[in-house]
Chains A and B, each alone.
Chain A
Amino acid sequence: MELVYIFFGITVVGLTAYGLQIWAIRKTLCENEVPAGKGAARGFCPPISVLKPLKGLDDNLFDNLESICLQDYPEYEVIFSLQDYNDPAYKVVRKIRDKYPDKNITILVERCEVGLNPKVNNLIPAYRIAKYEHVLISDSNVFVNRDYLQSIVKLMSDPAVGLVSNIIRGSGGRSLGSIFENLHLNSFVLGSVCFLDRFLKMPCVVGKSMLMKKTDLDAIGGLKAFKDVLAEDYMIGKKMQQQRKTVILSSHVIQNINEYWGVRRFLNRHTRWGKLRWRIGGVSYISELIGNPVFMSFFPLVLCGPSGMTMSFVLIVSTLKILGDMVIGNALASTDAGSSSSGKESTPSSFLSVHSLWYVLAPVKDLLIGLVWFVPLISNTVVWRGNRYIIGKDSLLSPCPEVGLWSWRYRLADAIKTRLA
């Protein structure tokens, strides 16, 4: 019975932590920086090179890429970089370039295999030809408003700032996997990033948007220094901080469009991210389990069996979690209203928010995430482009040995998976 009370206690701690995360999110969203064109940042509009690494067709790809080409910003170039002409994204970027012949758009197709991280491999040639000192790395699955560049660049007016990243909001779910993904991005991921930034002053950079200066990036070894790192975004942020450069989380919200994900893809992504956090964070990874109150609330139910008390506890915790997610959803939706009223809104109406009914799926998602949490404890490998890598300290990748116990272990697992499929 004591054990049950311990889990009750852990769940309450988890709920409290979640409450603090919500507070951190709201605080970050409300504390908008000086509006563009005012104060110290007035007139600070340096030319920017936007690097867009492309691989395959992301959901909403055309609109995502178009949105970066339609910025209200005086001078910037967009470099779309691909590894080969047969990539289906190549056709899409050509259409974008043809549609906007007056924009400074470059399509760079160059195979680069210097490292094990495919995104970094894709970025290295684009970085080489980037013309300007300020470089923005922006993923292809994000949709941005017209004032995006203006909003983030003003934070770079302070020479002490080394990197500006953004708040990411999952949008556009039309399948179960996408709904789970967006719910998770808008609760756990967003909450953790804001919590770490606000309370622990730890930069937790999400690579979907990273604005830097070339001199600062070169000072930490350039992109090549991260060619074999799985979490290149986090490590760039960490190195910047070690160089005594400030890493800022901008309150400007960018949308990560996830429309047609399957549940398997959702699980795969968060298994991989879990492995990263386990290898980077070590023991602090345990806090993630404690910070999942819905999952923890099921332990008394499992240990004591269904009873009025345990069932009510699960129900109350799940309801509180749903309400918490809805509070964050409303806070994020209000940022759309803000940008809309300022005439800068360019978000398609279909992406506006997570549908209210979908929030009831949040406890199911949290249960799945709770189960996924255990995977990194027993596996430290990822499969990328058909190759298996071992994730080492600070997410350093190394090829998985082709011989010995490793190889047999995974051959057996793959054979079982294939048979089941």
Chain B
Amino acid sequence: MLLCDFHIHTKYSDGSVELQRTVDLFGQAGFDVIAITDHVVNGDSSFGKLAHRFRFTINEKNFHAYMAHIREEADRAWDKYRMLIIPGVEISKNYISSEKSAHILLIDIKEFIPACWSYEKIFLEAKAQDAIIVACHPHHSSEITTRDTLFLWKNRDKYAKYIDAWEIANRDDVFNVISLKKYPYIANSDFHRARHIYSWKTMLNCEKDVDSVKNCIRHNKGVAITLFRN
């Protein structure tokens, strides 16, 4: 089984650990597959404007540098740790109302997708790029510092068909509603700080290459979750 984490932030957005160090942290701990998914924040709300103001977001200008850096690190991680790194982003639609807010992981993205697009447009473009679409922390979170992002769950009847997997567990939280609905699932750390490495993770029973990993998530066969503790 491959030990995986598909939700990792670095200093490219609001993470506290730089990309190279993040890769080393996961590599040193024996991980097999990780996805680097820094925030792409919408600019059409006050929250979004603040994120852009303080550069806590990937934007169209630095996207290619971000992707190039991830690719460089992916080569290094493979040579050193035999760890697969998949580039991605977390589309972050932040609004004052948590019922309007949503975060979406796009894993193995190739071109920049702005967060201010409509949901349909984002999903269709991600599908066109053959990216995996994951609904992040879709239900009420226990962390008091984190704002809930409930839009996709509230509108699941409309959007579930686009979503490849839902986060059934995020860092220390478990969202049992995903299990009850029998939606495809994965579990991630939502890594921002070094200590977040000890959190919920996904185990995949597949080959260690990008296509196999994506197929395994899409078909949601051979997927398990584990609470990674030291």
Interface of A toward B, CB cutoff 8 Å: 56-57, 59-63, 88-89, 91-92, 94-95, 98-99, 174-175, 259-260
Using Cβ atoms and an 8 Å threshold, which residues of chain A touch B229?
A: 88
**Contact between A62 and B81 (Cβ–Cβ < 8 Å)?**
yes
Contact of A56 among B28, B81, B82, B230 (CB under 8 A): B230
B88 proximal to A (CB < 8 A):
no
A57-B30, A98-B82 known; 20 new pairs, CB 8 Å cut-off, are A56-B230, A57-B230, A59-B28, A62-B28, A62-B29, A62-B30, A62-B81, A63-B28, A88-B228, A88-B229, A89-B30, A92-B28, A92-B29, A92-B30, A94-B30, A95-B30, A95-B82, A99-B82, A175-B194, A260-B194
Task: Judge whether B138 is part of the interface by a CB distance below 8 angstroms.
Answer: no
Contact A88 B194 (CB under 8 A): no
- By the criterion CB–CB under 8 Å, are B81 and A57 in contact? no
Closest A residue to B27 by beta carbon equals A62
8 nearest interchain CB pairs? Answer: A91-B30, A92-B30, A62-B28, A56-B230, A260-B194, A57-B230, A57-B29, A61-B28
Per DSSP, chain A at the interface is helix
CB distance from A91 to the nearest CB of B (A): 4
* B82, A88: Cβ atoms closer than 8 Å: no
- Verify A174–B82 contact, CB threshold 8 A: no
For chain B residues 52-104, which have a beta carbon within 8 Å of chain A? 81-82
Instruction: Kindly report which residue of chain A lies nearest to residue B194, judged by CB atoms.
Output: A260
Q: Closest Cβ of chain A: how far from B96's Cβ, in Å?
A: 33
Q: List 15 A-B contacts (CB under 8 A).
A: A56-B230, A57-B28, A57-B29, A57-B230, A62-B27, A62-B28, A62-B29, A62-B30, A63-B28, A89-B30, A91-B3, A92-B30, A95-B30, A175-B194, A260-B194
Please report the C-alpha to C-alpha distance between residue A174 and residue B230 in the assembled complex, in whole angstroms: 19
Residue ranges of B at the interface with A (Cβ–Cβ < 8 Å): 3, 27-30, 81-82, 194-195, 228-230
Task: Tell me, rounded to whole Å, the shortest Cβ–Cβ distance linking B214 to chain A.
Answer: 22
Residues of B within 8 A of A92 (CB): 28-30
A99 to B83, CA, bound (A): 12
Closest-by-CB residue of B relative to A96 is: B30
Q: In the complex, which residues of chain A have a beta carbon less than 8 angstroms from the beta carbon of B81?
A: 62, 95
Cα distance, A62 to B77, chains bound together (Å): 12
Q: Determine whether the beta carbon of B30 is less than 8 Å from that of A88.
A: yes
How close is B142's CB to chain A, nearest CB, in angstroms?
A: 16
| Bound: A58/B99 CA distance, A | 41
**A133, chain B: closest CB distance, angstroms:** 33
**Nearest chain B CB to A90 CB, angstrom units:** 8
Given A62-B81, A95-B81, A260-B194, A88–B29 Cβ distance below 8 Å?
A: yes
The answer to whether A60 touches B28, judged by C-beta atoms less than 8 angstroms apart, is yes
Residues of B within 8 A of A94 (CB): 30
- Bound-state CA distance A60–B27 (Å) is 9
Which of B27, B29, B30 has the most C-beta atoms of chain A within 10 angstroms of its own C-beta? B30
Q: Which residue of chain A is the closest to B195 with respect to CB atoms? A: A260
Rounded to whole angstroms, the CA-CA distance of A89 and B3 in the bound complex is 13
| Complex Cα gap A88–B32 (Å) | 13
Q: How far is the CA of A13 from the CA of B28 in the complex (A)?
A: 44
Distance A6 CA – B27 CA, assembled complex (angstroms): 54
Contact B230 A88 (CB under 8 A): yes
- Chain B residues within 8 Å of A95, by CB: 30, 81-82
The distance in angstroms between the C-alpha atoms of A260 and B29, with both chains bound, is: 13
CA distance A59 to B194 in the complex (A): 11
* Cα distance, A260 to B17, chains bound together (Å): 12
CA gap between A95 and B28 in the complex, in Å: 10
Interfacial chain B residues near A260, Cβ < 8 Å:
194-195
- B28 smallest CB distance to A (angstroms): 4
B191 to chain A, nearest CB (A): 13
Instruction: Report the Cα distance A209→B194, complex, angstroms.
Output: 28
Residue of B nearest to A174 (CB): B194
For the complex, give the distance between the alpha carbons of A88 and B29 in Å: 8
CA distance A254 to B115 in the complex (A): 49
B219 → chain A closest CB, angstroms: 24
Residues of chain A contacted by B30 (CB below 8 angstroms): 57, 61-62, 88-89, 91-92, 94-95
Residue of chain A at shortest CB distance from B83: A95
Least CB separation from B198: chain A residue = A57
Residue of A nearest to B29 (CB): A57
Q: How far is the CA of A87 from the CA of B32 in the complex (A)?
A: 16
**How near does chain A come to B207, taking the closest CB pair, in angstroms?**
15
Contact A61 B29 (CB under 8 A): yes
> In the complex the two chains form, what is the Cα distance from A260 to B30 in whole Å?
17
Expressed in whole angstroms, the Cα–Cα distance for A63 and B27 within the complex equals: 10
Q: How far is the CB of B153 from chain A (nearest CB, A)?
A: 32
Cβ contacts under 8 Å, B195 to chain A: 260
| CA gap between A91 and B194 in the complex, in Å | 19
Measured CB to CB, the closest approach of chain B to A93, in angstroms, equals: 8
**Cα distance, A190 to B33, chains bound together (Å):** 40
Chain B residue contacts of A91, Cβ below 8 A: 3, 30
B133 → A minimal CB distance (Å): 29
- Select from chain B the residue with minimum beta-carbon distance to A257: B28
CB distance from A197 to the nearest CB of B (A): 33
Roughly how many angstroms separate A56 CA and B230 CA in the complex, as a whole number? Answer: 5
Q: How far is the CA of A89 from the CA of B230 in the complex (A)?
A: 9
Alpha-carbon separation in the docked complex, A60 to B29 (Å): 8
Name the B residues within 8 Å of A88 (CB-CB).
29-30, 228-230
Q: How far is the CB of B19 from chain A (nearest CB, A)?
A: 14
CA separation between A315 and B30, bound complex, in Å? 46
Cβ of B211 to closest chain A Cβ, rounded Å: 22
Residue of A with least CB distance to B79: A99
Closest to A56 in B: B230
* Bound complex: CA A88 to CA B197 (Å): 12
Chain A residue at smallest Cβ distance from B28: A62
List, in ascending order, chain A residues with CB within 8 A of B230's CB.
56-57, 88
